[in-house]
Amino acid sequence: MATEAPEQAPPADGIQSLSISEPPPSSSSNPTIQMSLEEKYQMMRSVAEECIQDDELRNLLAHKPEPICYDGFEPSGRMHIAQGVMKTINVNKMTSAGCRVKILIADWFAQLNNKMGGDLKKIETVGHYMIEIWKAAGMNLDNGKVEFVWSSEEINARSHEYWPRVMDIARKYTVKRMTRCGQIMGRNELDDINVAQILYPCMQCADIFFLQADICQMGMDQRKVNVLAREYCDDIKKKNKPIILSHHMLPGLKQGQEKMSKSDVSSSIFMEDEEAEVNLKIKKAYCPPNVVEGNPCMEYVKYLILPWFNEFIVERSEKNGGNKTFKSFEELAADYESGELHPTDLKSALSKALNKILEPVRTHFKNDKTAKKLLQSVKNYRVTR
């Protein structure tokens, strides 16, 4: 992938500790430690539940010093911990492995998806609010390897490159093929189809080439459109395809909720939730004793707490087994399945760890005037879809 020149649009006719309980130091005072190829590969692979393809990822890391990783988000309301904490962890892993990360603020996509009633001013406000969250949460933005790109600005500036690509993708695929990608908008194939559900995946597929991405790093819910981009490479005879790193989808707090949704405020933990709110939501969360599979509390420890702190500390009385520090999820799962760890103690420790992560965010939105104003505006907006 490193040897291929950036493809043109169709004609128009270093390893740092991932314990980031404190904001990461600036790159000037703590330069990235050089990593071996295997260390880079393992770091990148730890981001993803699925990789398409592993051999291509190894080859990319071996031949390109700074691969470009692409992620995108719709500014669509308050940010929950799946977007805030997990994205911070993943971005910091990718930059520590030497990648450059382009995060697309998909304002036009949010408008297409009727977020914030399609009001671009509101969507822009939500976008700025989300960036403030990641700054406060500890996303490492000091090393210059993370770039926030507004889709409307980039498309308008380079429309002669962008729209021919979108049109070329649209010409090559059927309506049926595009509607199969409806999941990327948070909708399924049984929903009433509107034109946006056809245009949206054409544009998102084009974004990958427009931003010259080597790696698509998104959730499993975006897998279909990323696979479409690889299929498109076959159609245009492009040798080096974008590598897909699909991360796990964090569930909601209620039983059977496979994906956290901000539309159900009682089942989502938001990045600026007060300590008491976090405690209450975790207390009410689905957490069956001795059951690990499908247990959201266990998943939060696995995908948020352990990657953040490199450990999970459970404090309890001597009568109930005394304090214990878990260094791996396997160790935690064994204790929970056997009954050695009770749901009440798990929840108490989880609440404490989450609040420790979220406290810098709460403090920022209370003390920074700009951030405080952004949050108040976002809270006043009605979430639409």
For 6, 82, 101, 235, the CA distances from 51, given in Å and listed in that order, are 23, 20, 17, 22
Q: What does the pLDDT look like over 191-216, one tens digit per residue?
A: 567 888 889 999 999 999 999 999 99
Which CATH number characterizes residue 131's domain? 3.40.50.620
* Across 179-193, average pLDDT: 62
**pLDDT attached to residue 186:** 54
Residues 220 and 362 in one domain: no
In a domain, 311, yes or no: yes
Under DSSP, the state recorded for 83 is I
pTM score, whole prediction: 0.86
Please, which pLDDT band fits residue 385 given cuts at 50, 70 and 90? low
**pLDDT attached to residue 9:** 46
Q: What does the pLDDT look like over 321-347, one tens digit per residue?
A: 889 999 999 999 999 999 999 999 999
How far apart are alpha carbons 284 and 8 in whole angstroms? 53
For 68, 271, 281, 307, 348, the CA distances from 344, given in Å and listed in that order, are 43, 23, 13, 22, 6
pLDDT tops 70 at residue 40: yes
Closest CA to 382 of 267, 278, 268, 265: 265
**pLDDT attached to residue 265:** 82
Token pair in block for residue 50: 């699925």
Q: What does the pLDDT look like over 122-137, one tens digit per residue?
A: 999 999 999 999 999 9
Residues 164 and 215 in one domain: yes
**pLDDT attached to residue 259:** 84
Closest CA to 288 of 275, 279, 300, 297: 297
In a domain, 295, yes or no: yes
Average predicted confidence (pLDDT) for the chain: 88
SS3 9: coil
Domain that holds residue 66: 37-246
The last residue of a domain, from among 226, 246, 266:
246
In a domain, 25, yes or no: no
From the number of C-beta atoms within 10 Å of its C-beta (0-12, 13-18, 19+), residue 132 rates as buried
